Structure 1
């Protein structure tokens, strides 16, 4: 599969380490028996959404950053889960990038608004398609249903927004937050507010 112009959305990096043997193995296992990029992408999405715990929902450590660490520990914040999904997709030669939202914080921990991360995946039939594998819970029902988008959150409250762009690498502030936080609570307390 040749993806002219999408090379940066296919490369391996220290965070999106799809050249890691365990990530590669998992990616190939998820693609087994699938026909076409939509089926492969859906299989990868469902695995990350349902099998990897969201660190805040499950109150789990350690804080994970790289795709291989998320896969090993089976936990991660939305950002970390998006890193694993991107790696699984890229390992299957499907271009994947990162999208972000500014959301109101309804918890008493952390800033009034915070950054939320998820993915965009390039599908031959539909082009860029946004998908959020943060994990479902009460009030959150994200699904992979191209061409229709079914994200975890839709920014509707004052101050909330979809941030423009699809990034080939996670935002530097996200990498900094996940690589310097002591535990899952530390991450929540220090979530970045992109509006500041």
Structure 2
């Protein structure tokens, strides 16, 4: 059974904040967020456009066999590549730049997998912009959860229900210290929070 997403903060403003990772004040983030904003101002259409951009236009490092390491949202946008966590950082930045609250969620699969939650229509919904290659099936949906990977509880996998306003420190620390090169993500990617 999937957990009900639970925000770790009662203040929606915490899910709009900028920091060194989610640098949504960066000119490139602001420009793209503006370009993705729906003409009629509909935040759902704008969120879906941001989701599709990150899912489809930013390569996942494993799928692309790319040796680069990105972690800051503006760097992910510039390089157009990132691991699931980096892609989640970019999606949060693009949403927050449009005034749409966004947070971070995690699954324990073969390694810690990062995704987002978005607050629209008065409720939270989890979104996974990992990219639909190698069997992943993430889709934009506010009503039915359509994440990239189903959790297999029989294999000991775990779905964390918490929605964090900032990326997990264990993830950021790993990404900041990672050395670029083939298979860099296999060297110490956290397995748990």
Deviation at 1:79, TM superposition (A): 0.1
RMSD: 1.5
Alignment of 1:33-182 (within 5 A): 33-104=39-110, 114-125=111-122, 127-156=123-152, 157-182=154-179
Q: Is the 8 A contact 1:122 1:129 kept in 2?
A: yes
Q: Is the 8 A contact 2:63 2:134 kept in 1?
A: no
Give the secondary-structure state (helix, strand or coil) at the position aligned to 2:145. strand
Which deviates further from its counterpart, 84-93 or 145-154?
145-154
Deviation at 1:28, TM superposition (A): 0.6
Deviation at 1:62, TM superposition (A): 1.9
Q: TM-score, normalised by structure 2?
A: 0.90
Aligned-partner Cα distance in 2 for 1:79–1:51: 15
Runs in 1 of length 4+ with deviation above 3 angstroms?
none
Give the secondary-structure state (helix, strand or coil) at the position aligned to 2:190. coil
Q: Is the 8 A contact 1:34 1:40 kept in 2?
A: no
Deviation at 1:34, TM superposition (A): 4.7
Aligned-partner Cα distance in 1 for 2:140–2:40: 15
Q: Which runs of 5+ in 2 are unaligned?
A: 1-9
Deviation by residue 1:119-163 (Cα, 9 ceiling, x = unmatched): 0000025x1000000100142111002211100011114210101
Deviation at 1:176, TM superposition (A): 0.8
Q: Which residue pairs with 2:188 in the alignment?
A: 190
1:20 is aligned, of 16, 21, 26, to: 26
Q: TM-score, normalised by structure 1?
A: 0.88
Deviation by residue 1:8-62 (Cα, 9 ceiling, x = unmatched): 1001101000000001000110114254211111000000000000011101132
Aligned-partner Cα distance in 2 for 1:49–1:36: 20
